Structure 1
Amino acid sequence: MPANLYALGAIALWITLAALGVSLRHIPPFLLTGIALLMGSLLALPAVLQDRKAWSVPAKTLALGVYGLFGFHFLLFIALRHAPPVEANLVNYLWPLFMVVLAPLFLAGLKLRAVHVAAALLGFAGAAIAILSASSNATGAVGWSWGFLPALASAFIWASYSLLTQRVKPFPTAAIGLFGLVSGLLSLLCHWALEPQAVLSARDWLLLAVMGWGPLGTAFFLWDKALKLGDARQIGILSYITPLGSTALLMLVSGRPLSWSIGLAAVMIIGAAVLGTRVK
């Protein structure tokens, strides 16, 4: 199914985001996000030069795009600063589950079946095992932190943004570049107001370009195509491949052996994806 292939393309790129983020962890997060989003927005230029109406979207649609791209990253970074990062990241990965259960509320003609909920919960359980197994600190219960609230809000924002893009007046996928441009500028404004200044090396700029043209660029365009063509419930379940792949890649890059828990998580997430994509 073409929609699932587009979704898998976006997921494959998002899998690299954590590893790239580790390589660029010395860069203030809003500066990193702002530059990467601006670079990603450049991918839309050929389409815009060919059709200048590609960025002529209603203010409501532009606001939705900024709500998704900027709002998600803004709240996620707040969460990562004020809650244990591994657990905050796990809370953030509720967004595929939100996509599945909220789809019938946001989109007409979709019904939520028990098998969709079961697949989404199985996928989330697999993601939890994958993420927590990679943390050397995940040895017991984690105390409450208010930082979990913005993590939960960021999950809701990405899920609702993904669904609401199908509710507004149809817009060309090239408009994602405009969303990224405005969101990138807002991120740089946050950097100027909230973060210390930083000097970037040539290696930093190279990795920022890879991030901008990959997980914070091409991935958003592929994601939009997937949502326009496919079933949001199935795409949401497929998305649990992201935390699994991201965690496994981080462990490989850091030289840590893959554990039995990663294998178990893989079985659970792949099982959830197969289960979820076989029902209508």
Structure 2
Amino acid sequence: MKINYILYLSLVFVLNSCNSTKNTSEISKTDVEIIDEVAENGSEFVSAASAEVDKLVAANLHTPFTKLEEDRTKNFEVNSGVVITPTISAKKTGNQMYHHLQESTLYIGSSYLCDKCPNVHLSAASGFVIHEDGIIVTNYHVIAPRDSIKYDGLFAVDHEGTVYVVTEVLSASKANDLAILKVDTMGTKLNALPLAETELVGEDVYMMGHPFKNTFFMTKGIISRKYVNSEKSQPKMTITAEFGLGASGGPVVNDSGEVVGVVSATRANYTGSGKQKGDLQLLLKIVIPVSQLNNYVKSDV
């Protein structure tokens, strides 16, 4: 009888232990659950910029997108004529780098009237200032969208929410996916990023852009490779710093804050081939080297 009682107590202990483990497992599962959230600060930022753009378009204070398309054709593969003064910069901490990039990085957007609501929307892309008088850089594919949407104009927005009208395309290179634009600064001097002479494989880099409308988002990595694109025969490079849709045209800088590249594209590599794609193995982050960008500006040295 005593033995049966001991067995009974042992069974109760084991059952309670199982329940305890189950409850702990359920709590842990809840704790690690990831919930999708919208980029709230980004949505608010873009909404405010869109409202300002709507006013500019309504008052006809913008440059028509058709005029910018004419500029793009006229200045295709030409030097912009913009004179850049080389500067020597000191190395920066991560926090210093964030503010350094934030002051010069822009949200670039083409405005269009939505076909589902009466509001004006902005497409999402990135860019950065290279001259205080309103000279900015972004991608060619940002100013030459493939879709059939009718755009009103092109605008740049700084981190404080100030909207600048893009007035001219000074240079456009499809092969290098680069565009140099002029914005109306309304007399304000902008904060320009210095351009490095070249880019070095293995050096630390920082990137800033607006991936998926997560505005002024900075990541860090290295330059992992330089190569020549077989299709366009143009130099490219890859970096390990993360970026995604909306970061196109964003600056990539070295640890002194000098531009070493321009965000361009991503390429996914899977285990399978053709239509039978397997697991995603490698996502390449493709960047235009600054040595290519330097071909479209002039130096005063």
**Shared topology, TM-score over 0.5?**
no
Which one scores higher on RCO, CA 8 angstroms, separation ≥ 6? 1
TM range (shorter): under 0.3
Structure number with higher helix proportion: 1
Structure number with higher strand proportion: 2
